[in-house]
């Protein structure tokens, strides 16, 4: 049984972060002219047919994410079919969308893979981390390329300049970290790491995890394939934003979306608020202002993007209900099992 103290602190932290996100969103909405907001809402409802390709492109982007994870699992010799990985991936999306707190869907994915091969829990968790990390790095790299191609958009306002500087710093930091950790096998070449393994009770476990990660460094074809899937993922998710923008009467071309959306995705990956609530809307308003999109259109655009992802996550909920057993599942009990599995990994 989980001690009441840590549980109370955990839920207090989630509640504070949720209230922060709602507060930011309320402040942003309060600043928008009510009549303009009503006009944009009515315009979006009239253009609801654009929601269909928006949700469809979101779904395709997520399917590509599933294919990337299958590639990573297959490289580690997990014998899961494309269909099985597809189902587990969308179950993870469901938990990400409907459970407050960070990494719920990642834990769910690792849990279900570990059920398939219970002796390889560490590898199961690390495939999820590698999948997340590769996706994030490609978003950062793509975002920096767009900054170089469209510098005038990022130099337009103080907010976009700060966002561009942050993206470049993240790219430099990530590159330096990867070179430091994976330029050579540290546990084989470094006395410090050998000493750490010998004198730390977790040393062997950390060494094992490091070897799993180092494996991908020695298999560039896997990384190349994962990069291709990541680029396709970026394209379709950005295309979804573009379609949602059309429903709101935003007349910008696809290029500003490709320029700003990767940076927005990277910043909302930082778990300041659950699901990036408030933070995402503020970033949409600040960045798309550089492309001439008013906040009363950019903020509803952000909300449509979020609800498009939620709609696709509901598909994962349907899969979850009948996954493996063929009988309805209890979400609360399953989530308890997932958390316990994560604690013992």
Best mean pLDDT range from 43-47, 77-81, 168-172, 293-297:
168-172
Residues 251-290 have pLDDT tens digits of: 889 999 999 999 999 999 887 777 778 889 999 999 999 8
Higher pLDDT, 325 or 288: 288
How much is the pLDDT for 31?
78
One DSSP character per residue, 119-179 reads: GGHHHHHHHHHHHHHHHHHHHHHHHHHHHHH-HHHHTSSHHHHHHHHHHHHHHHHHHHHHH
As a whole number, mean pLDDT of residues 303-315 equals 92
As a whole number, mean pLDDT of residues 11-37 equals 79
How much is the pLDDT for 345?
55
What secondary structure letter does DSSP report for 326? S
Higher pLDDT, 69 or 188: 69
Higher pLDDT, 54 or 326: 54
d(CA 286, CA 290): 7
d(CA 109, CA 141): 26
Residue that is written with structure tokens 């793509």 in the block: 142
d(CA 314, CA 320): 10
How much is the pLDDT for 322?
75
Residue 249 contacts residue 48 (beta carbons within 8 Å): no
Ranking 51-55, 179-183, 285-289 by mean pLDDT, the lowest is 179-183
Residue 300 contacts residue 36 (beta carbons within 8 Å): no
Query: Which tokens sit at 47?
Result: 């253009």
Task: Quickly state the pLDDT bin for 333 (edges 50, 70, 90).
Answer: low
Phi, psi of 306 (to 5 degrees): -60, -50
As a whole number, mean pLDDT of residues 212-236 equals 91
As a whole number, mean pLDDT of residues 185-202 equals 78
As a whole number, mean pLDDT of residues 229-246 equals 97
How much is the pLDDT for 342?
55
Residues of the chain above pLDDT 70, percent: 88
User: Measured at the alpha carbon of residue 115, what is the angle toward residues 109 and 117, in degrees to the nearest 5?
Assistant: 105
- Is 71 strand, coil or helix? helix
How much is the pLDDT for 332?
57
As a whole number, mean pLDDT of residues 226-254 equals 95
Given a cut of 60, is residue 212 above it in pLDDT?
A: yes
Residues 73-129 have pLDDT tens digits of: 999 889 889 999 999 999 999 888 876 554 678 888 888 888 888 888 888 888 998
Ranking 2-16, 162-176, 284-298 by mean pLDDT, the lowest is 2-16
Stated as kind and residue range, the H or E segment containing 256 is: helix 254-268
Mean pLDDT of the chain: 85
- Is 185 strand, coil or helix? coil
Task: Quickly state the pLDDT bin for 338 (edges 50, 70, 90).
Answer: low
As a whole number, mean pLDDT of residues 165-176 equals 95
């Amino acid at each position: 049984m989980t001690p009441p103290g840590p549980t109370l602190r955990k839920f207090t932290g989630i509640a504070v972060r949720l209230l922060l996100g709602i507060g930011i969103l309320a402040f942003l909405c309060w600043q928008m002219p009510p009549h303009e907001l009503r006009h944009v809402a009515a315009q979006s409802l009239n253009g609801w047919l654009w929601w269909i390709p928006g949700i469809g492109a979101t779904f395709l982007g997520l399917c590509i994410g599933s294919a990337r994870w299958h590639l990573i699992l297959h490289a580690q010799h997990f014998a899961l079919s494309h269909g099985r990985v597809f189902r587990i991936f969308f179950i993870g999306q469901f938990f990400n969308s409907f459970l407050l707190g960070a990494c719920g869907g990642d834990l769910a994915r690792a849990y279900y893979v570990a059920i398939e091969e219970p002796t390889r829990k560490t590898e199961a968790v690390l495939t999820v981390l590698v999948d997340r990390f590769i996706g994030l790095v490609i978003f950062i790299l793509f975002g920096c390329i767009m900054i170089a191609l469209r510098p005038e958009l990022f130099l337009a306002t103080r907010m976009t300049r700060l966002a561009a500087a942050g993206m470049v710093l993240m790219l430099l930091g990530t590159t330096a970290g990867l070179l430091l950790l994976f330029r050579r096998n540290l546990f084989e070449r470094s006395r410090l790491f050998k000493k750490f393994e010998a004198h730390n009770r977790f040393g062997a476990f950390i060494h094992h995890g490091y070897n799993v990660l180092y494996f991908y460094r020695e298999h560039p074809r896997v990384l190349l394939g994962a990069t291709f899937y990541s680029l396709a993922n970026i394209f379709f998710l950005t295309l979804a934003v573009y379609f949602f923008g059309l429903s709101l009467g935003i007349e910008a071309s696809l290029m500003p979306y490709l320029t700003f959306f990767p940076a927005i995705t990277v910043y909302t990956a930082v778990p300041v608020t659950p699901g990036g609530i408030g933070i995402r809307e503020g970033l949409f308003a600040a960045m798309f202002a550089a492309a001439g999109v008013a906040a009363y259109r950019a903020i509803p655009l952000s909300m449509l993007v979020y609800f498009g992802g939620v709609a696709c996550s509901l598909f994962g909920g349907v899969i979850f209900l009948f996954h493996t057993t063929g009988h309805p599942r209890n979400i609360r009990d399953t989530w308890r099992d997932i958390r316990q599995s994560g604690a013992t990994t």
